[in-house]
Amino acid sequence: MSKMTRRGALAGAATLPFVRPALAQPRYPARPVQLIVPWGAGGGTDATARIVASLLERELGQPFNVVNRTGGSGVVGHSAIAQAAPDGYTIGMITVEICMMHWQGLTELKRTSYTPLALMNEDPPGVQVNASSPYRDIKALADAIKASRPGQFKASGTGQGGIWHLALAGWLGAMGLAADHVRWVPSNGAAPAMQDLAAGGVDIVTCSVPEARAIIEAGRARSLAIMAPQRNPQFAQVPTLNETLGINYSVGAWRGIAAPLNLPAPIAQQLTAALQKIWNSNEFKDFMNARGFGMVWGDAAGFAQHMERTDATLGAAMRSAGLVRG
Amino acid sequence: MNAILDAFAMVATTEVAIAVLASAVYGMVIGALPGLTATMATALLVPVTFYLSPIAAMATIITSSAMAIFSGDIPGALMRIPGTPASAAYTDEAYALTRKGQAELALGAALWFSAIGGIVGTVCLMVMAPALAEIALSFSTYEYFWLSFLGLMCATLVARSSPIKAIAAALLGLLVACVGIENPGGVPRFTFGSTDLLGGIEALPALVGVFAVSEIMRAMNSAPPPPIPNRRFGSILAGQWELTRRYQKQMWRGNVIGVLIGALPGAGADMAAWVAYATSKRFSKEREKFGTGHPEGLVESGAANNSALAGGWVPALLFGIPGDTITAIAIGVLYMKGLNPGPTLFTEKASSMYALYIIFILANLLMIPLGIMMIRASRQVLRAPRSAAMPLILLLCAVGAFAIGNNLFSVLLVAAFGVIGWIMERNGYPVAALVLGVVMGTMVEQNLVSSLIKSDGEILPFFERPVSSVLAVLTITALLWPAGVWALRRLQPAQAAR
């Protein structure tokens, strides 16, 4: 009769921990993931990130925690994303500013500092005027601008060198005018600029149409055109520059999900697939439509190409506007 | 009438009731903690609103912000550490009342007049929203320049010490506001190559530093004050009715100031509180009592900052333009919930609008019992030994600063401003003026430079627009008034001698 000894039992127990690893390889993600947002809580980028995070959590089974890293006009947050460990547990929502900051000499970061995962959204700029403006359409406005003394027209929409400023500069360039032919009046964003437009303080605001929607619906402003390849379905009555002026100039404020450089390919592919599924979901569509955000998709390669085009376009606009430094 | 009945039906649901009550407690606690703000309370609620119905979602924001603005007064009165920027305007006054053994009067006044201010603000929102919005929309950067410049000049009025030191402190605040890239020129200033400084120095770390941290340093440096007699707090609301009757004019003036300033996009409870306190002191018959524990200023500014909250919703609901930082966040939630801002909100979705009005009133009524409970719970602070209370507060300051941007740099800023604040207080410079400079500095510069760009460098447009010219006259009068008084006093002795 065999006898169970204490030493034998202990020896058996000691081997148990080594059996576990062989049963299954760890799969991603095995713990909560951090989603860094370079902009403040409550804004459009933050809200978009949070809806993406909640849907990713449902899709991949782990919490995706949104963390706002504000400051430095987006540099702080974008830096935090780029400098995190490329293990898949820190990703972020990067924005169009990543294609502008390095031209301004603010940071060494550029689009190639990240592993692109997915482009989720883009909003093209529009051309808004006061409701009582004498220019009934974009052609009349364009003609008036061409005939005007340099600096006579005043436009606003964001800070100096911001995306909407570059939209104006690019449009003017496409019409053969100097970037400062219309004087840019910096503001703290689209809302104060639209306020100033309604008050008669400026002539043009080149923010996105969704940002101007409430003022337009209040009858205080009109949108004459958008700088995009196609019309926005939610603002179908607003024509594109191409339709009206034959100018095929388009640029936009976009948001995408990215990870630190050198993220392992299997993890990147898994995230991109999950993001594509989310992008196609009804919840995401409903959210974006409610906010008026543009639904534009790009997978990893498409996102990279999109950033490359944006970087070149914005670089040219910034150079013509005299904003390139370093 | 059907719309109003629909509104009551919307509000009278379990979900909305729970949302209001939970966010009321939440806002009350967040606002009372130094370093945490009403804006932060609102921002952190956004993820929660994803899962609520439209009315419940808006209820959480309305309720928590109203509570937070009031409860920011509690630490100000008990420990001279304001809980929110809006409370900083009259922290010294409230604390002086507490030292006189009248903590109930100070806190009761803050509670009572905050609730009245919130309700009056709501009534104005209901009755005059379109008219107020028309006025707000006529403000361009020219008008904003004069308004923010006028606000900046409150620095000399809120200070107890000499006007020269107040101006010096405000100028230091303006210098601090210069840091960063967020200026009209879009060029980095005083960043010394630091990424963290690119974003500039925000008002909140500066405020937490010069008020909370420097107060803690002062506590370390001085002997404990004589203990306040250990007695049960009397009734919180005793004496409030008498104050209401005695300072009725101040109460109404505070409400008007709050609603008007709140309705202007970009200006909020912070500016309303500062302007109201300065106005109260300027026109008071007992000016010498200000700063010694006199409830008059508390009445006016307490009413102003909560009525400014409701006023801030005027441009937000009508035009989707933020009235303040809180409504900037709320607009995003409105769109997300299908309550798109604009005039159609008042016509096609009238019942939803009435529901929001009802919640505004409910929130301010609920503020009174909850505020009383919060005040009673807070009185333990007066008995707690400072060696236990101060480290906890310091920890909260660090947590609050970090929470702003999840950035350790803010914590360093708080420490730096704590030292600066301590040195300033020690030499008689009012730290409130420094904070005012930081808060208003960016606004003044932004509006000044934008206006100059629009006018191609001409000065005349600053005076041509109707509202602009009125504000210009007010500002210049306020500038020249002290000089005029001084000149008159010089003439008096000469005549007497003759």
Q: Which residue of chain A is at minimal alpha-carbon distance from B335?
A: A291
Question: Is A217 within 8 Å of B340 when comparing Cβ atoms?
Answer: yes
Q: Across chain A, what does the average pLDDT equal? A: 84
**Position A259 in a domain:** yes
CA angle B352, B353, B354 (to 5 degrees): 90
pLDDT at B497 over 60: no
**Position A25 in a domain:** no
pLDDT tens per residue across span A258-289:
999 999 989 999 999 999 999 999 988 888 88
Query: Are A241 and A129 members of one domain?
Result: yes
pLDDT band at A3 (very low <50, low <70, confident <90, very high): low
pLDDT at B84 over 80: no
Q: Across chain B, what does the average pLDDT equal? A: 82
- What is the nearest CA distance from A185 to chain B, expressed in angstroms? 6
pLDDT at B307 over 70: yes
Mean pLDDT of B33-41: 77
Question: Is A73 within 8 Å of B181 when comparing Cβ atoms?
Answer: yes
Question: Is B182 within 8 Å of A159 when comparing Cβ atoms?
Answer: yes
pLDDT band at B346 (very low <50, low <70, confident <90, very high): confident
Which SS3 state, helix, strand or coil, does residue A240 take?
strand
Mean pLDDT of A94-119: 87
Crossing angle (nearest 10°) for helices B2-11 and B54-71: 70
Mean pLDDT of B127-148: 81
Say what the pLDDT of residue A22 is. 45
Query: Are A260 and A274 members of one domain?
Result: yes
- Which chain B residues in 93-132 lie under 8 Å from chain A, judged by CB atoms? none
Q: Is B336 on the interface with A (CB under 8 A)?
A: yes
Say what the pLDDT of residue B231 is. 58
Query: Are A233 and A282 members of one domain?
Result: no
Q: What is the CATH number of the domain that holds A260?
A: 3.40.190.150
Question: Is A42 within 8 Å of B319 when comparing Cβ atoms?
Answer: no
Crossing angle (nearest 10°) for helices B141-152 and B466-497: 30
Contacts A287 to B, Cβ<8 Å: 336
Of A154-163, A173-182, B338-347, B461-470, least confident by mean pLDDT is B338-347
**Position A19 in a domain:** no
Query: Are A101 and A184 members of one domain?
Result: no
Mean pLDDT of A23-30: 67
> In this structure, are residues A224 and A127 in contact, taking their beta carbons and an 8 Å threshold?
yes
Mean pLDDT of A210-238: 84
Question: Is A215 within 8 Å of B139 when comparing Cβ atoms?
Answer: no
pLDDT at A1 over 50: no
Which percentage of chain A shows pLDDT scores above 70?
90
User: Among all chains, which residue has been given the structure tokens 């007066």?
Assistant: B382
Higher pLDDT, B21 or B9: B21
Distance separating the N- and C-terminal Cα atoms of chain A:
86
Query: Are A273 and A298 members of one domain?
Result: yes
Instruction: Determine the residue type at B223.
Output: A
Higher pLDDT, B95 or B135: B95
* Domain limit, last residue, from A203, A225, A245: A245
- Which chain A residues in 154-213 lie under 8 Å from chain B, judged by CB atoms? 154, 156, 159-162, 183-188, 191-192, 194-196, 198-202, 213
pLDDT at A120 over 80: yes
Higher pLDDT, B468 or B498: B468
Q: Facing residues of A90 across strands?
A: A34
**Position A111 in a domain:** yes
Q: Is B137 on the interface with A (CB under 8 A)?
A: yes
| Cα B367 to Cα B68: distance, rounded to the nearest angstrom | 10
Say what the pLDDT of residue B105 is. 84
Query: Are A290 and A310 members of one domain?
Result: yes
**Position A115 in a domain:** yes
Say what the pLDDT of residue A128 is. 92
Contacts A215 to B, Cβ<8 Å: 319-321
> In this structure, are residues B381 and B389 in contact, taking their beta carbons and an 8 Å threshold?
yes
pLDDT at B430 over 70: yes
Question: Is A290 within 8 Å of B335 when comparing Cβ atoms?
Answer: yes
Question: Is B196 within 8 Å of A76 when comparing Cβ atoms?
Answer: yes
* Domain limit, last residue, from A195, A212, A245: A245
Of A14-28, A225-239, A267-281, least confident by mean pLDDT is A14-28
pLDDT at B186 over 50: yes
* Domain limit, last residue, from A188, A222, A245: A245
Looking at chain A, which runs of residues are DSSP E strands?
33-37, 64-68, 90-95, 114-123, 126-130, 154-156, 183-185, 204-205, 221-226, 253-260, 295-298
Say what the pLDDT of residue B261 is. 84
Query: Are A116 and A134 members of one domain?
Result: no
> In this structure, are residues A36 and A80 in contact, taking their beta carbons and an 8 Å threshold?
yes
Chosen for mutation from A69, A90, A196, A235 (greatest number of chain B CBs closer than 10 Å) is A196
For chain B, what is the radius of gyration of the CA atoms?
22
Which percentage of chain A shows pLDDT scores above 90?
18
- In 3-state terms chain A splits into helix, strand, coil percentages (rounded to 5) of 45, 20, 35
Q: Which residues of B201-240 are buried (b: 16+ CB within 10 A; e: fewer)?
A: bbbbbbbbbbbbbbbbbebeeeeeeeeeeeeeeeebeebb
Domain extent at residue A105? 33-122+253-320
Query: Are A144 and A229 members of one domain?
Result: yes
pLDDT at A90 over 90: yes
pLDDT band at B341 (very low <50, low <70, confident <90, very high): confident
Q: Is A107 on the interface with B (CB under 8 A)?
A: yes
Q: Is A306 on the interface with B (CB under 8 A)?
A: no
**Position A196 in a domain:** yes
**Position A91 in a domain:** yes
Q: Which residue of chain B is at minimal alpha-carbon distance from A38?
A: B405
Distance separating the N- and C-terminal Cα atoms of chain B:
74
Maximum CA extent, chain A: 109
pLDDT tens per residue across span A55-88:
998 888 888 888 888 766 788 788 889 988 999 9
Query: For chain A, what is the domain count?
Result: 2
| Cα A203 to Cα B458: distance, rounded to the nearest angstrom | 18
Mean pLDDT of B129-148: 81
- What is the nearest CA distance from A275 to chain B, expressed in angstroms? 19
Q: Facing residues of A258 across strands?
A: A92, A116
pLDDT at B287 over 60: yes
Which SS3 state, helix, strand or coil, does residue B139 take?
coil
Mean pLDDT of A240-248: 84
Q: Counting Cβ atoms within 10 Å, is residue B488 exposed (0-12), middle (13-18) or buried (19+)?
A: exposed
Mean pLDDT of B243-265: 85
Q: What is the CATH number of the domain that holds A216?
A: 3.40.190.10
- What is the nearest CA distance from B207 to chain A, expressed in angstroms? 18
Query: Are A223 and A139 members of one domain?
Result: yes
DSSP summary character for residue B229: P
Query: Are A138 and A218 members of one domain?
Result: yes
Say what the pLDDT of residue B63 is. 92
Q: Is B322 on the interface with A (CB under 8 A)?
A: yes
pLDDT at A18 over 80: no
ipTM of the complex: 0.73
Question: Is A185 within 8 Å of B453 when comparing Cβ atoms?
Answer: yes
Question: Is B321 within 8 Å of A214 when comparing Cβ atoms?
Answer: yes
Which percentage of chain B shows pLDDT scores above 70?
93
Q: Facing residues of A184 across strands?
A: A155
Question: Is A290 within 8 Å of B336 when comparing Cβ atoms?
Answer: yes
Rank A19-23, B392-396, B449-453 by mean pLDDT and report only the highest: B449-453
CA angle B358, B363, B365 (to 5 degrees): 95
| Cα B480 to Cα B475: distance, rounded to the nearest angstrom | 9
pLDDT band at A5 (very low <50, low <70, confident <90, very high): low
Query: Are A178 and A239 members of one domain?
Result: yes
Q: How far is CA B214 from the centre of its chain?
A: 21
Query: Are A158 and A46 members of one domain?
Result: no
Closest to B344 (Cβ–Cβ): which among A107, A217, A287?
A217
Say what the pLDDT of residue A25 is. 53
pLDDT at B289 over 90: no
- Which chain A residues in 9-48 lie under 8 Å from chain B, judged by CB atoms? 40-44, 46-47
**Position A108 in a domain:** yes
Which SS3 state, helix, strand or coil, does residue A297 take?
strand
Q: Which residues of A45-71 are buried (b: 16+ CB within 10 A; e: fewer)?
A: bbbbbbbbbbbbbebbeeebebbbbbb
